[in-house]
Homo-oligomer: A and B are copies of this chain.
């Protein structure tokens, strides 16, 4: 009784010691991104949701940009995790060539699943850089396995070469082609002009895009 309760989060909190507020603001920022995309990520609304004065955020984030970058990094971690989950579902009895092809498909499928499940976070992950922080080297964007989305894609495409499915001469930049196809579908359907007509058949078109990539690479 003399110590603060670890559960009962919303009502039992009296003050945010040891980084709890940073976590709360990040969670609020992610909720905002989910609801309204990157433009909805606002220091004032995040502090409002955390039940805290607006300027309290400056103890944990240098600016609104810093919060946005943190939310973006978390969104990219989500993309990586979704890819890893799809990779983990792969059957283990495949030939090297089939495993390579299935890996590329799994990476794409994980990407598209995340875009569909979390459109607001997806948009945030790949939002325009606003002429600002291009590299953002500090924030980690890797999933549980320690690889970020781009690395996971490159790994899968590398398998195509290692297993003899793709000639090594065609390897350089091949991941860009695969990424473009999958990313374009996601953008057009998630918040673009194809939301209404294609949205209901998103998974189907996802597989067709992956067919095209597999044949076209």
- Which residues in A have some Cβ–Cβ distance to B below 8 Å? 37, 39, 123, 126, 128-129, 134, 150, 173, 176-177, 179-188, 191-196, 198, 205, 208-209, 211-217
Contact = CB atoms under 8 A, between A and B. Distances in A.
Contacts of A150: 193
- Specify how many copies of this chain sit in the oligomer: 2
Contacts of A123: 128
A130 to B, nearest CB: 9
Given A176-B205, A212-B216, 5 more contacts: A129-B192, A134-B195, A173-B208, A176-B208, A180-B188
Contact of A212 (B183, B187, B217): B217
Which residue of A182, A193, A211 has the most chain B CB atoms within 10 A of its CB atom?
Answer: A193
Given A182-B184, A216-B211, A216-B215, A192 B128 contact: yes
A198 B175 CA distance: 12
